[in-house]
Amino acid sequence: MKIAYYPGCTLKNRARDLDRYARETASALGCEFEEIPLWQCCGGAYTSAKDEIATKLAAVRALAAGRDMGGRVVTVCSACFNVLAQTNREFLVNPDFDFKVNNYLKGDPAYHGEASVVHYLTLLRDEIGFDAVKARVTNPLKGKKIAAYYGCLLLRPSEALAFDDPEDPSVMEDFIRALGAEPVNYSMRNECCGGYLTLEDREAAKKRSNAVVRSAAENGADFMITACPLCMYNLTKNADEKIPVRYFTDVLAEAFGLKEGAAE
């Protein structure tokens, strides 16, 4: 299986592991991530909070490329996933947006929301299947208590993302079980880490991150996993309590025995 892949900027610098292990693990599962040529920044969740078409055009270009490369775009970063999926939905519910964007881009052919946006986690759940993941695990993470951290961008707005139940999600917990580890049930897993607030009001972001990490630690987590570079930043840099935070692809690679130094 080949699928158009949109990495996003952070995955090319700060979050190189997130990118690298996503490709390697997918490949190990027989799925080729084909990077969209000449992709641009998705615009980020921050800018798309504004009702401004220009900030969404880059996402539309990625979506159109996905349409031309087989109809789907897979992402790994929560923010990219959120922006792409929300922008795509806009085409389906807002004809005015469709009209303006196509007037602006004059793409050939015009784009009308034909592509579908999938996150690597839902790709694992819905198409590859966690059973197949489990079968590929060579280095099961036995005895590890892992706290799945969803944050907000993977889950909300749930109508647009269609990712999981925003109040009681389960995909990451199932993922953790497939790797042979034990998911930690803690209530802050779908709460905000503070996000971009860390730029404007660091104290507020700290408060959020602290609440999340404390809740995970209280419930006995050995480490946390996330899909989002920004969550990674907040949880590691802004929380007072220190427990390791890792990308889910990193953990997946470890379970698959793809990391250097890991026991095969």
Which residues of the chain form contacts with another protein (CB under 8 A)?
Answer: 165-168, 185-188, 191, 215, 218-220
Q: Quote the CA–CA distance of 172 and 176 in Å, as a whole number.
A: 6
Question: What CA–CA distance (Å, rounded) separates 150 from 152?
Answer: 6
- Complex with another protein: residue 76 or 172, whichever CB lies closer: 172
* Distance set, CA 177 to CA 48, 49, 243 (Å): 34, 35, 20
Distance in Å, CB of 226 to another protein, minimum? 19
Task: Decide whether 47 or 219 has the Cβ nearer to another protein.
Answer: 219
Spell out the residues 6+ positions from residue 81 whose beta carbon is closer than 8 angstroms to its own. Answer: 75, 117, 119, 153, 154, 161, 163, 227
Least distance (Å) from another protein to the CB of residue 168?
A: 3
Least distance from another protein to the Cβ atom of residue 165, Å: 6
Q: What is the DSSP letter of 188?
A: G
In this complex, which beta carbon is closest to another protein, that of residue 36 or of residue 188? 188
Q: Which is nearer to another protein, 74 or 216 (CB)?
A: 216
**Shortest distance, position 166 Cβ to another protein, whole Å:** 8
